Amino acid sequence: MNPSEIQLNQEGRLKHFLTTEGLSQEILTEILDTADSFIGTQARSVKTVPLLRGKTVVNLFFENSTRTRSTFELAAKRLSANILNLDIARSATSKGETLMDTLWNLESMYSDMFVVRHADSGAAHFIAQHITPNVAVINAGDGRHAHPTQAMLDMLTIRREKGSFKDLSVAIVGDILHSRVARSQIHALKTLGAREVRVVGPNTLLPHDIESLGVRAFNNLKQGLKGVDVIIMLRLQKERMQNALLPSESEYYKLFGLTTDKLAYAHPEAIVMHPGPINRGVEIESAVADGPQSVILKQVSNGIPMRMAVMAMAMSGQTQELAQEEG
């Protein structure tokens, strides 16, 4: 199935958000515009808006992620939704109940939205295909496949810093092979019109067919950064060392860690991004992470309005479709 088919209702409006792949430039731009409109609400004394009042959002995190789960919970609360955080480690699923049994029970409680994080690629799609049609599903990260809200908050940060995607050259640096964020970023950047997308990393951490996505691959960081406008550093997982994909952290930092000297190869006004949490001295030097070109904390701030935008649009699309079916 085309990834966009399951995500859109009959009117072409968002009703699930599972991946950036296959969505049009118009939909992605609408998501960015909606998130932009929520940024102003974050600095008010009263930060809530009533768009999801009376709705129930369930955080289904089968994989730990304190930061992402917290931002989804805060976004739901600022939309005035009721929020349920399901502790999967203590849930019936861990006691032998199947995933579908758990979902059907949650459906029976008249839940309106599932926010799903899972270690298996395709888990969010599977759930969206098998639950009742009027429950919106938001992918909060599945396996190596996609992390669309992280990618879109990165796009929001880039647009606010650079104005548009036209003529931008973007380098994504690090473990591309295992990164769900990188895939979602590549699809979004290409759709939004970035002039060039590069991926930079050791051969062991670059998919052999990565250039089929329309990107240029580099094994040399200095060459990969030459003249770029945006640098997105990826988090390096410790287990990559144990799996012999890399010789050591110090060797990785020497070749692919972003230092002040290597940053000088990029455009003088290039911005530096990182989805966090940062491994200082492994992926990036503290002087760069905390330096004037870093927008890492702005990415954190943009996470809540972006998740508010996606949740509000998906719920609106579900409501529209339900109204059409009823009448």
Contact 138, 312 (CB under 8 A): no
Tokens of 17: 């958000």
Residue carrying structure tokens 């904390």: 297
Q: Residue 180 annotated as binding? A: yes
Question: What number of helices (H) and strands (E) belong to the chain?
Answer: 13, 9
Rounded distance between C-alpha atoms, residue 171 and residue 256, angstroms: 12
* Residue 224 marked in a binding site: no
Task: Determine phi and psi for 273, rounding to 5 degrees.
Answer: -125, 160
Token readout for 146 is: 């996609």
Angle (CA) 71-77-80 rounded to 5° is: 150
Phi then psi for 295, rounded to 5 degrees? -120, 25
The answer to the question of whether 95 is labelled as a binding residue is yes
Q: What is the rounded (10 degree) CA torsion for 303, 307, 310, 314? A: 170
Tokens found for residue 246: 């890399």
125 annotated as ligand-binding: no
> How far is 210 from 145, CA to CA, in rounded Å?
13
For the chain, give percent helix, strand, coil, nearest 5.
45, 15, 35
Count the Cβ atoms, other than its own, within 10 Å of residue 137.
Answer: 27
| 117 in a known ligand binding site | yes
Q: Which two tokens stand for residue 119?
A: 């270690």
144 marked among binding-site residues? no
Does the annotation flag 15 for ligand binding?
no
Annotated binding residue 160: no
Indicate the annotated binding residues for carbamoyl phosphate. Answer: 67-68, 117, 147, 150, 276-277
Indicate the annotated binding residues. Answer: 67-68, 95, 117, 147, 150, 180, 235, 276-277
Indicate the annotated binding residues for L-aspartate. Answer: 95, 180, 235
